[in-house]
Amino acid sequence: MRALVAIAVVLVLAAGPAGGARADSATDCFSEDIERRIEGCTALIERRDESMADLSFAYAMRALAYSLKGRYDTAIRDYDAAIAMKPDFAVALNNRAWAYFRWGRAAVGLPDVEKSLQLSPTSAHALDTRAHIRQTLGDPQGALHDYDKAMWHGGARMIKLYQCGLTEARLYNGEIDGNLRPELTQALEQCVHDKACDPLPADEQCRAATS
C-alpha cells in the first residue's frame, strides 16, 4: 500500500525519447515484478546520468522492492541514499519508517514518519504507519486516533483495507464495502490494545478487492 505511484511518471519522463535502453530502465524501475524493478532501478543508479532528484526516486523505488522482499536492512540503506539526496522526500521518509517497523525497530522509525507527516499531514499511508508504530510502542489511543485519521483521509479504500484485515483477525464480521460502521470502530478499539494485531490484511485477494 506504500507504492510510489508518482515516481513512475517522473522516472519515465526523465528517461525521455533519448534512447530505448534508458527508457526501458525507467519503466522497469516501476515494474510490478520485484526482480525486474531492482534491475531497472540499479541500471539507472549505476549510470549516474540522472539528476539528483531522479536518482533519489530510483533509490526509493529499489528500496521499496527490497522491503517487499523482506530485505529491510538493504532497503533502509537505499532509503538513506534517497533521503540524503532529497531530505524533504515525504514518501521515502514514510517508507523508511515502515521498513524499520517491519524490521522490528519501530521506535527508530518514529522520527521518520513524524517528519513525513509534517511534510504531508493528510497522507493516509503515513498516518497508518504512525498508527502501527504507536500501537507497537504501547500507545493504543494514539494508534486509534491515527487509524481514524487514515480512514478519514484515505476514504473508502483505506476503510475497506481495515475491514478486510480485521475480518482476517476475527474482530469484524460486517460488510467490506468501504463504509465506516460502528462495528469497524469497535474492532479497531480492540485491535489497538493487542500489539500483535494488524488491521491491514495479509491476504492478497482481500487486498485486491480494495483496489
pLDDT at 48: 76
Contact yes or no for 201/207 (Cβ under 8 A): yes
**What whole-number distance in Å separates Cα of residue 82 and Cα of residue 75?**
11
pLDDT at 27: 85
Per-residue pLDDT of the chain (211 residues; tens, 9 = 90+): 454 544 443 444 344 444 444 547 778 898 889 999 999 999 999 987 666 668 999 999 999 999 999 999 999 999 999 999 999 999 999 999 999 999 999 999 999 999 999 999 999 999 999 999 999 999 999 999 999 999 999 999 999 999 999 999 999 999 999 999 999 999 999 999 999 999 999 866 566 656 5
pLDDT at 159: 97
**What whole-number distance in Å separates Cα of residue 15 and Cα of residue 95?**
24
Domain segments of the chain: what residues?
Answer: 1-104, 122-211
- Burial 13-33, CB ≥16 within 10 A → b, else e: ebbeeeeeebbebbbbbbbee
User: What letter does residue 177 receive in the DSSP assignment?
Assistant: S
Please give the model's pTM, rounded to 2 decimal places: 0.86
pLDDT at 207: 62
- Cell numbers for 99: 521498513
- Cell numbers for 62: 529499489
pLDDT at 145: 98
**Domain 1-104 CATH class label:** mainly alpha
pLDDT at 200: 96
pLDDT at 16: 45
